[in-house]
Amino acid sequence: MAATLEEAVQIALGIGYPVVLKSQVLVGGRGKAGGIKKAEDRGSLEKAFRELKALRIKGYPVEKVLIVRAVNIQKEFYVGMTVDYVKNDVVLMASSAGGVDIEETARENPEAIKKYYLRGSHRPGGKEWHSFIQDVFPAPSYQKKAAAVFQNLINVFFAYDCSLAEINPLVVDEAGEMCAADAKINFDDNALFRHEDIRKMQDARYEDSDELKAREHGLSFVKLDGNVGCIVNGAGLAMATMDVIKLLGGRPANFLDVGGSSNPEKVLHALRIILNNKEVKVVLMNIFGGITRCDDIAKGILEAGKRMDISVPLVVRLIGTNEPQAKEILAQNKINTYSTMREAVEKAVALAKR
């Protein structure tokens, strides 16, 4: 991996020309965006390296370039592994039609992708396994190598709690050797607590700064392009609130789930993130108290009002646990509340149109 031209030259010297330069960005479609180049000698390496470093791929700068031996590709395969949510199982996938168009293949010709379910085992074997391997790798000389690749993939998948691990393409060169020409791994966010090493690799630049900030404060946030900001407790109710805003003629500015806890601080952080978006003309709070206590939310609103400038009108709907106390607190501070979701959304949509 090279960050500077000197490093690139050194690495290429060690490998021997021809080499391939691959931009290191955490987005797909890199090859099609011109992020991969081949170099036959030092001159073309320098030129390719400078061009890649100047490139932005889907908006992201290329800071590092991976330099590898150029493989004379005879055949490209696809191999991958993921969790099948319908079958509650881990599945291996493979296709003899590997390469950049695998997504298209999956859509238009799904039979070209063969599947093998692990059924709890981490060491595949038996009749079904052999026919899976033979289907994708008809040449006997490839089968043993492919099986070894799969075993390594399985080991990595379970060791690191992956949600997707794929090698595409898995290539065979003119000497009949198999090698991973590109790979992609997604990790399960819920399992990061047991993979500190993976957590450290997270690159904040690849994430929306508001979404990141929201996560730090235990909020779940997704920005949309409307002007009615919303703060809701619970993901399902938050989605339904967005939908109702749209159905009543408004445009939701975001999805925001404050979660189930009663921490008044969360309301403050939620308001800060939403008001960061200058499009927002009104903030709708839709809280159904269960574990969340309405009076804590009300206190959060007052606290936020003291600590920041809330420049847009607030429309508050509170119901459930400690609702009377919450309504009293807000009434004393001249903040109107609504009991039904429809009334509150109608009010917010009307205010956004003013």
Partner 1 sequence: MSILVDQNTKVIVQGITGRDGSFHTEQMLGYGTRIVGGVTPGKGGQTVCGVPVFNTVAEAKKKTGADTAVIYVPAPFAKDAIFEDIQAGMSLIICITEGIPILDIVEVMRALEGRPCLPAGRPCLPAGRQTRFIGPNCPGVISPGKAKVGIMPGSIHQPGPVGVISRSGTLTYEVVYNLTRSNMGQSTCVGLGGDPITGMRFTDALEMFMRDEETQGIVMVGEIGGGDEQTAAEFIKKEGTKPVVGFIAGRTAPAGKRMGHAGAIISSGETTAEAKRQVLQEAGVTVVDFPDDIPAALKKKLR
Q: Which residues are catalytic?
A: 78, 166
| Alpha-carbon distances, residue 114 vs 104, 125, 131, 312 (angstroms) | 15, 16, 10, 55
Looking at 15-23, 70-78, 79-87, 132-140, which segment touches partner 1 (CB under 8 A)? 79-87
Closer residue to partner 1, CB minimum distance, 12 or 259: 259
Q: In this chain, which stretch among 48-56, 128-136, 243-251, 328-336 interacts with partner 1, using CB under 8 A?
A: 243-251
Q: Is 63 a residue that touches partner 1 (CB under 8 A)?
A: no
Name which position in 10, 72, 121, 336 contacts partner 1 (CB under 8 A): 121
How would DSSP label each residue in 147-169?
A: HHHHHHHHHHHHHTTEEEEEEEE
Among 193, 201, 203, 306, binds partner 1 (CB under 8 A): 193
How far is the first Cα of the chain from the last one, in angstroms, to the nearest whole number?
Answer: 55
| Residue closer to partner 1, measured from CB, 129 or 288 | 288
Interface with partner 1 in residues 273-332 (CB under 8 A): 288-291, 319-321
How far is 277 from 280, CA to CA, in rounded Å? 6
**Per-residue tokens: 201:** 């690799």
Which token pair is 20? 């391939």
**Residue with the two structure tokens 């009307």:** 350
Contact between 252 and partner 1 by CB under 8 A: the answer reads yes
Nearer to partner 1, 62 or 227 (CB): 227
Size of the site for partner 1 (CB under 8 A): 52
Q: Is 188 in the site for partner 1 (CB under 8 A)?
A: yes
Residues 6 or more apart whose CB falls under 8 angstroms from that of 221 comprise 210, 211, 214, 215, 254, 255, 256, 257, 270, 273
How far apart are alpha carbons 31 and 169 in whole angstroms? Answer: 12
User: Which residues of the shown chain bind partner 1 in the complex (CB under 8 A)?
Assistant: 83, 85-86, 88-90, 119-123, 158, 161, 163, 188-191, 193-194, 220, 222, 224, 232-240, 242-247, 252, 255, 257, 260, 288-291, 319-321, 340-342
